[in-house]
């Protein structure tokens, strides 16, 4: 697709650490309202790629555009201002209360009324309302993940970039995260989710498979499941 119709477009991205190159010519795009899944095993380069997209790691080659603006050399905070929020595995401040975490998330982009935004988010995550005055450290792993998602949403991003939302969660909580993401998708938010858990195919409109720092496959979920080699590698099926 032409980059100008994409919300996010990465073209030919190389990145790495010191003398070690991790990403090799990665192409990936997210259209408005899409949920794109970036699948890959441990060490495939998913985190490195997400950090490059959001500006925490330098792009060595290639280009990244957000809403048509070239952000390749832009600071991370400026990319956020353009509507891209990153949710890492360590997404919350454990010593702050639930409400303070949400306000910090809202203030990151200078939200006019962080308190009102927190109220809206309690509507999506009722469990957080009940515990609003408690420190984030008192939450269970699953609840903490919900708070991480809520905190990232507090800034009202156009695109939420998520690194392994299922990490450390029981299958029951993974289902709950998938339910919340399905809900958010219905509200027009665009999502880019890096995962190893194929359960997330349920929410995806398109899939990219990263192997050894290179995109091995991109297409719809149906196209992926039609691909015999990928089916065998990711679903353990013949
Ligand atoms: P995981 O699911 O384990 O997080 P991943 O697909 O996100 O895997 P990355 O974390 O991006 O993979 O790692 C890709 C490669 O980069 C690995 O070989 C890893 O050892 C290396 N790497 C990651 N972070 C650093 C770092 N800070 N310094 C040097 N090498 C790193």
Q: What is the pLDDT of residues 20-59, one digit of tens each?
A: 999 999 999 999 999 999 999 999 999 999 999 999 999 9
Q: Is the pLDDT of residue 233 over 50?
A: yes
Q: Is the pLDDT of residue 108 over 60?
A: yes
Q: What is the Cα–Cα distance from 13 to 15, expressed in whole angstroms? A: 7
Residues written for the chain = 238
Q: What is the pLDDT of residues 175-229, one digit of tens each?
A: 888 888 888 887 779 999 999 988 899 899 999 999 999 999 999 999 988 888 8
pLDDT at 90: 65
The rounded Å distance from CA 63 to ligand 1 centre is 21
pLDDT at 238: 45
Place of tokens 């190159």: 21
The rounded Å distance from CA 48 to ligand 1 centre is 6
Q: What is the Cα–Cα distance from 55 to 49, expressed in whole angstroms? A: 10
Angle at 124 between CA 122 and CA 130, to 5 degrees: 35
| Ligand 1 atom having least distance to the Cα of 18 | 29
Nearest CA to ligand 1 atom 9: 45
* Higher local confidence (pLDDT), 38 or 154: 38
pTM of the full structure: 0.91
| Ligand 1 atom having least distance to the Cα of 213 | 14
Nearest CA to ligand 1 atom 27: 17
What percentage of the chain carries pLDDT values higher than 90?
56
- State which of 21, 22, 44, 49 you would mutate to test the pocket of ligand 1, scoring each by most atoms of that ligand within 8 A of its C-beta: 22
| Ligand 1 atom having least distance to the Cα of 194 | 7
User: 45-57 b/e with 16+ CB inside 10 Å = b?
Assistant: bbbbbbbbbbbeb
Tokens read off for 157: 């991003």
Q: Is the pLDDT of residue 88 over 50?
A: yes
* Higher local confidence (pLDDT), 210 or 91: 210
Q: What is the Cα–Cα distance from 13 to 203, expressed in whole angstroms? A: 26
User: 178-209 b/e with 16+ CB inside 10 Å = b?
Assistant: bebbeebbeeebbbbbbbebbebbebbbbbbb
CB 135 within 8 A of CB 96: yes
């Amino acid at each position: 697709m032409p980059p100008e119709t994409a919300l996010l477009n990465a073209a030919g991205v190389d990145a790495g650490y010191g003398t070690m190159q991790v990403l090799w010519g990665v192409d990936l795009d997210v259209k408005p309202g899409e949920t794109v899944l970036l699948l890959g095993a441990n060490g495939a380069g998913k985190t490195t790629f997400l950090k490059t997209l959001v500006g925490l790691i330098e792009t060595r080659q290639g280009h990244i555009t957000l809403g048509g603006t070239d952000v390749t050399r832009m600071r991370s905070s400026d990319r956020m201002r353009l509507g891209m929020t990153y949710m890492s595995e360590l997404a919350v401040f454990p010593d702050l209360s639930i409400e303070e975490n949400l306000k910090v998330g809202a203030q990151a982009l200078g939200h006019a009324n962080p308190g009102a935004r927190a109220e809206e988010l309690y509507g999506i995550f009722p469990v957080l309302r009940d515990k609003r005055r408690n420190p984030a450290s008192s939450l269970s792993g699953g609840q903490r993940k919900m708070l991480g998602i809520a905190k990232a949403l507090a800034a009202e991003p156009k695109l939420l970039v998520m690194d392994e939302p299922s990490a450390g969660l029981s299958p029951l909580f993974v289902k709950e995260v998938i339910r919340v993401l399905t809900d958010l998708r219905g509200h027009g938010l665009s999502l880019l989710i890096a995962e190893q858990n194929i359960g997330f195919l349920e929410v995806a409109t398109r899939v990219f498979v990263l192997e050894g720092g290179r995109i091995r496959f991109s297409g719809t979920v149906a196209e992926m499941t039609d691909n015999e080699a990928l089916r065998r590698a990711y679903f353990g099926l013949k």
